Structure 1
């Protein structure tokens, strides 16, 4: 909510049914395969919200089609010449671990799929210009980031263990660069753009290169990898016992942990692009929601319960739709809805789901991700309004 407590944040995904339509091939003009994603429709409502962390209606969803593109020799040269980031830590600092929460197995897997479809043989995972292995490293870049990570006596871009660890080191450094850049795009998007087109292009455009850059190749590469994340995410990160609409909804929502917050983003079908309304959806002075595929607080709840229970959008409306079954704080069960307000039902600004053990699962605000946090610290304690059971 535009810099105030309970403000929406963003992350990326699209609803299921992703269709892979792409043979493994390489364009001689570019060592790194790029993906194409038909843009989501941007017919967002223009009315401003009076209350609640979500818009009055959701956005239609597009489908995802993956295919390789590649026609930008400049980006190829920039990336193939070695590290193209600026002012990043020494790669040796990344050897032991990466403390950036954005670097997840699902992100790296989705990126590897985009680069090579997990191919590791020299015949299948070598580009016409010399990019090598499942992570498609040029030799100059591999010389900087490659290690014998699996300790088999050889550091090789063809070795899946070595390649994934090098990919992770490079991406971790780029994530850090993205966070320190001040650009409005989320760090994962900035890192992917830097990996694909070179950080110089990110600096040039002060964010992910637009559709006008190289036919939209990097723009689509970034969006498609983030949209494909659900295919590579494992089971939920929390244990959810029991059956019924509450636990079932919580399990569904837990499958979206790590999805960005996007003001106005998300529908019952899944994550979607958001919008800015003059106050909400902004990050570092720019509209983040319009380029972030994710959920806001009420769209996540609506998605979780749909279609067993068809809740409305907007936190205060969800309270009104469920207030006939209030729940005291000491009787909370998994899936119950919790609300925060500035004083009255009309001032409810945030909704979360009880996740058990004193925790809640929610989409907190712009710049954050769907997460599990203690109820006591999810929002200001003084603003806690009550709980209901749909």
Structure 2
């Protein structure tokens, strides 16, 4: 397949560079059993994404967070799919302007402007470091969005940013909007490359941003407890990472000789995510600053015990192998006999029935945080 015309190196120039693009018309529907039917990651529906893209979902969430209120995880994920099919090692054909590389298809000159070691692994893979490239993609798109917002052109800044990423901001300026359907159209094609690029990405982004359905978390009500559940629900699908997670969001964890390992390696050290107590801390933090570990969270809330029959959304449930001094897990009550929690290494943040979350014999009780 021939390379697409790709955007300028930086906002304000019309220099064309090559993009190895995939003309993909839609997303496959292939729900992941690993999420136990819960497939939302901060407004990004994993069930509607191609399977190869789901592992990068937390990074699209982090990347979009660099440009709050402007970019969404679904938009950046759909763009990544269009650019590379979520392939971190792909390269386009060499051109006079450079070779587009990696999951976000950066040429070297653009990469040099937006690259950072976002995952802190110190690797030297350049644009083929997927985590770093996804974060750079968000920074570049944010700058293009701002340019579109300031331009006064009669179009959505998201569409303008996408067109700038693909064709170069100079062409957006030339046409005072997204280039027309005839722009960069090759023989036999109905749509020009940039027009198609913008159309497909915006369509996939809309499809992949299916909101968390009312059937999943309905009737929560109002108050600090329901708010904590809703905040935790924005992290559904984020990986478990022992020692990872802060009140600000997912982060890499560590291994302690027993915990944090997956299939023989220390996955926590390279995985941005949460463990059970950091997720609870994240959920409640805006209104109540709970301690970091599960046993301390029990101690901080034990004065307000709750029996199972009286559980309310936001209540904390605890499990232990040896009484309250040996609590090893905490979860948030999500209503209808279910908990929202980060189960263990290898499993994402998810919703499960209480009795399926942890061994029933280990359940020690529930508490109601005060806020």
Equivalent position of 1:19 in the other structure? none
Equivalent position of 2:263 in the other structure? 284
Q: Check the 8 A contact 1:110/1:226 in 2, yes or no.
A: no
- The answer as to 2:228 corresponding to 1:249 is yes
- The answer as to 2:31 corresponding to 1:31 is no
In 2: Cα distance, 1:27 partner to 1:370 partner: 44
Equivalent position of 1:211 in the other structure? 123
Equivalent position of 2:315 in the other structure? 336
Per the alignment, in what secondary structure is the counterpart of residue 136 of structure 1?
helix
- The answer as to 2:312 corresponding to 1:367 is no
Which runs of structure 2 are paired with 1:101-140 in the superposition (5 Å)? 103-104=46-47, 107=57, 110=73, 113=76, 116=79, 135-136=82-83
CA drift of 1:112 comes to 5.2
Per the alignment, in what secondary structure is the counterpart of residue 290 of structure 1?
helix
Aligned-residue Cα RMSD (Å) equals: 4.1
User: How does the TM-score come out when normalised to structure 2?
Assistant: 0.53
In 1: Cα distance, 2:342 partner to 2:78 partner: 30
CA drift of 1:335 comes to 0.8
Equivalent position of 1:294 in the other structure? 273
In 1: Cα distance, 2:12 partner to 2:129 partner: 17
Change (3 A) 1:115 1:374: closer
Per the alignment, in what secondary structure is the counterpart of residue 212 of structure 1?
coil
User: How does the TM-score come out when normalised to structure 1?
Assistant: 0.50
CA drift of 1:241 comes to 2.3
Change (3 A) 1:215 1:225: closer
CA drift of 1:211 comes to 1.8
Per the alignment, in what secondary structure is the counterpart of residue 340 of structure 1?
strand
**Deviations, residues 1-25 of structure 1 (Å, cap 9, x unaligned):** xxxxxxxxxxxxxxxxxxxxx8599
Per the alignment, in what secondary structure is the counterpart of residue 262 of structure 1?
coil
Per the alignment, in what secondary structure is the counterpart of residue 325 of structure 2?
helix
Change (3 A) 1:232 1:269: farther
**Deviations, residues 105-126 of structure 1 (Å, cap 9, x unaligned):** 5849747536759xxxxxxxxx
**Deviations, residues 130-164 of structure 1 (Å, cap 9, x unaligned):** xxxx8136xxxxxxxxxxxxxxxxxxxxxxxxxxx
In 1: Cα distance, 2:270 partner to 2:231 partner: 24
CA drift of 1:210 comes to 6.8
Per the alignment, in what secondary structure is the counterpart of residue 321 of structure 1?
helix
Which runs of structure 2 are paired with 1:179-258 in the superposition (5 Å)? 211-214=123-126, 217-222=129-134, 234-235=211-212, 237-258=216-237
Equivalent position of 2:357 in the other structure? 378
In 2: Cα distance, 1:367 partner to 1:112 partner: 26
Point out where structure 1 has 5 or more consecutive residues left out of the alignment. Answer: 1-21, 33-79, 83-93, 118-133, 138-166, 175-192, 198-208
Q: Check the 8 A contact 1:24/1:116 in 2, yes or no.
A: no
In 2: Cα distance, 1:24 partner to 1:288 partner: 42
In 1: Cα distance, 2:137 partner to 2:219 partner: 28
**Deviations, residues 329-361 of structure 1 (Å, cap 9, x unaligned):** 111111110000002112100000111111100
In 2: Cα distance, 1:232 partner to 1:25 partner: 32
Per the alignment, in what secondary structure is the counterpart of residue 232 of structure 2?
helix
**Deviations, residues 168-187 of structure 1 (Å, cap 9, x unaligned):** xxx6xx8xxxxxxxxxxxxx
Query: Max radius of gyration: which structure?
Result: 2
- The answer as to 2:296 corresponding to 1:317 is yes
Which runs of structure 2 are paired with 1:93-172 in the superposition (5 Å)? 97-100=29-32, 103-104=46-47, 107=57, 110=73, 113=76, 116=79, 135-136=82-83, 167=85
Per the alignment, in what secondary structure is the counterpart of residue 349 of structure 1?
strand
CA drift of 1:370 comes to 0.8
Point out where structure 2 has 5 or more consecutive residues left out of the alignment. Answer: 1-9, 40-45, 50-56, 61-71, 88-100, 106-120, 143-204
**Deviations, residues 178-217 of structure 1 (Å, cap 9, x unaligned):** xxxxxxxxxxxxxxx98569xxxxxxxxxxx972223664
Change (3 A) 1:380 1:96: same
Q: Check the 8 A contact 2:318/2:330 in 1, yes or no.
A: yes
